[in-house]
Amino acid sequence: MALQLVIGNKNYSSWSLRAWLFLQQSQLAFEEIRISLFTQHWHQEIERYSPARQVPVLVDNGFAVWDSIAIFEYVLEKYPQAVGWPADFQARAIARSLSAEMHAGFMAVRAELPQNIRAHRPRRMESFSAAAQQQIQRIQSVWRTCYRQYGDRGPWLFGQFSIADVMYAPVAMRFLTYGVEVDAEARFFVEAVQALPAIKQWVAESAAEPETINFVDEL
């Protein structure tokens, strides 16, 4: 098998979900190599694939590419039919801006609403820090703005499914876990993500994983 994807726990690893969803939606065959995060053997096992010691890592016939954005770009260059960027020049620029914003930011959301797919822990907005609340609003305003601008082109942020949807899909799943209320114009995105067969598969496989990460489960 040419392509292998090294991922962490499906339940907890949002960057793994992005790369996996991207390959699934691109309809590319790949072998999945799952390494459970934060175990005794984690560093030893991940170092076999990447000196950066993080998942996801894509291995193409022994050639390793790590970090989600680099993985998307590598796959797109090799398989132009893969999930890509919006066709329109300016929509593409916005999609890249939003994807970079996700890749580099939203630290409070990451810290206070860590991915925990199989859990359902509704929280009140006031229980999050001011920074997390502001970031939750920002994310909803991204979805709302996309809906207003591109909603007539299809059910995704830019109409057709693109890398921007891959970048924001795990956030929709976090909002479901923590019961974050999403306003009517932004909700289309959460609903589209939830309805995706690949996401349903990831959710089922997350539920079946035996490992637990206590500091996330105890939140």
Ligand X SMILES: N[C@@H](CCC(=O)N[C@@H](CS)C(=O)NCC(=O)O)C(=O)O
User: Pick from 60, 67, 101, 209: which binds ligand X (CB under 6 A)?
Assistant: 67
Query: What's the CA gap between 200 and 141, in Å, rounded?
Result: 26
- Interface with ligand X, residue 209, by CB under 6 A: no
Of the candidate residues 15, 22, 128, 175, the single one contacting ligand X (CB under 6 A): 15
Report the nearest approach of ligand X to the CB of residue 202 (Å). 14
Query: Using the rule CB under 6 A, is 171 a contact of ligand X?
Result: no
Q: Is 135 in the site for ligand X (CB under 6 A)?
A: no
Quote the least distance from Cβ 85 to ligand X, whole Å.
Answer: 17
3-state SS class at 74: helix
Query: Is the peptide bond prior to 210 cis by the omega test (within 30 degrees of 0)?
Result: no
Which residue stretch of 12-20, 76-84, 117-125, 149-157 sits at the interface with ligand X (rule: CB under 6 A)? 12-20
Work out the number of other CB atoms within 10 angstroms of the CB of residue 90.
8
Helical ranges in 60-182 per DSSP H: 68-78, 89-104, 107-112, 130-150, 163-177
Integer Cα distance of 205 and 101 in angstroms: 29
54 lines the binding site for ligand X (CB under 6 A): yes
Write out the two tokens for 50. Answer: 């990447």
- Which pair of tokens denotes residue 211? 């490992």
Q: Binding segment for ligand X among 13-21, 91-99, 158-166, 175-183 (CB under 6 A)?
A: 13-21
Q: Which residues would be at the binding site for ligand X (CB under 6 A)?
A: 8, 13-16, 37, 53-56, 67-68, 103
